[in-house]
Amino acid sequence: MLIRVGSRGSRLALTQAELAASRLRGPGIEIALVPITTAGDRDRSRPFGEIGSRGVFVKELEEALLEHRIDVAVHSAKDMTSSDRDGLAVGAYLARDDPRDALCGADRIRPGMRIGTASARRKAQLLALEPTLSIEPLRGNIDTRLRKRGERGLDAIVLAACGLDRLGLGREIGYRFDPEELLPEAGQGALALQVRAGEEHLVAAADDAATRERVEAERAVVAAVGGGCLAPVAAHHDGTTLTGLVAAEDGSWLERRTGEEPAALGRELAALAAARVS
């Protein structure tokens, strides 16, 4: 049996796809990796919000699934939209790696630093931590962003720790933010294996139940906040507590709440954001 596994073509994405493939291989099962270019890969200059925000690294992979050009799509779960596309399902989440954000180039935040990130979520929380920071837009794959930090004379950049770890670049990390400081993106640290609805059996053996429970709760919080909320949103389940956050992109306000029921928590955050911007 041949399973065609679709992935973005970056070094990190292909490394992650191989991690997934290693979990899917078995007696009588062959894996073919199929690189696919996404909108987020083609446009590396504009901010994510201008090219679609969440989903910019996902849409083309989902279309390839629906058109039967691949059988499994490997996504960084944080890149996925908060709800599943019709006809598709997440058949497995691999066991989660470090969900934290990482500071590269410095070992702590200092007043007046120039920090690079393309994430509105990171920008909002960094400015809430230290309002004197200068947050500069920074796009590209991990290697590109690490290089641009030096070329542009930035004091530091913020990346997902899991991506650096998977590429063997953990030495670049000067500091890993506690989620109490920077709440991670929903799904950060997890890999999602998406399939056509009804074909979950192709990947079911690779599913980690604890990761699924936590990531699905995080995605549900974001879904309940709703597309009408323009504020940066974050959600993270540490195995004990589900936390959600909304904030102003300039860090001028930030609302963090915990809850047991994801939809209720998301609605509470949406109401808090609406009150702040009204």
> Per-residue pLDDT averaged across 239-262, rounded?
97
How many Å from the N-terminal Cα to the C-terminal Cα in the chain? 56
User: Residue 79 catalytic?
Assistant: yes
Backbone φ and ψ for 168, nearest 5 degrees, come out as: 75, 25
β-strands 173-176, 101-104 pairing:
antiparallel
Nearest to 101 by CA among 8, 46, 180, 44: 180
Considering 79, 97, 98, 101, which one is annotated as catalytic?
Answer: 79
Using only C-alpha atoms, the chain has a radius of gyration, in whole angstroms, of 18
Residue 51: pLDDT over 50: no
> Per-residue pLDDT averaged across 94-120, rounded?
97
- What span, in angstroms and rounded, lies between the C-alpha atoms of 166 and 153? 26
CATH numbers and ranges of domains, the chain: 1-94+190-207 (3.40.190.10), 101-176 (3.40.190.10), 208-278 (3.30.160.40)
Q: How many residues does the chain have?
A: 278
**pTM (two decimals):** 0.90
Q: Answer for the pair 233, 269: CB distance below 8 angstroms, yes or no.
A: yes
Residue 64's SS3 state is helix
Taking only the tens place, the pLDDT of each residue in 147-202 is 999 999 999 999 999 999 999 999 999 999 999 999 999 999 999 999 999 999 99
Nearest to 126 by CA among 168, 181, 178, 54: 181
Residue 32: pLDDT over 60: yes
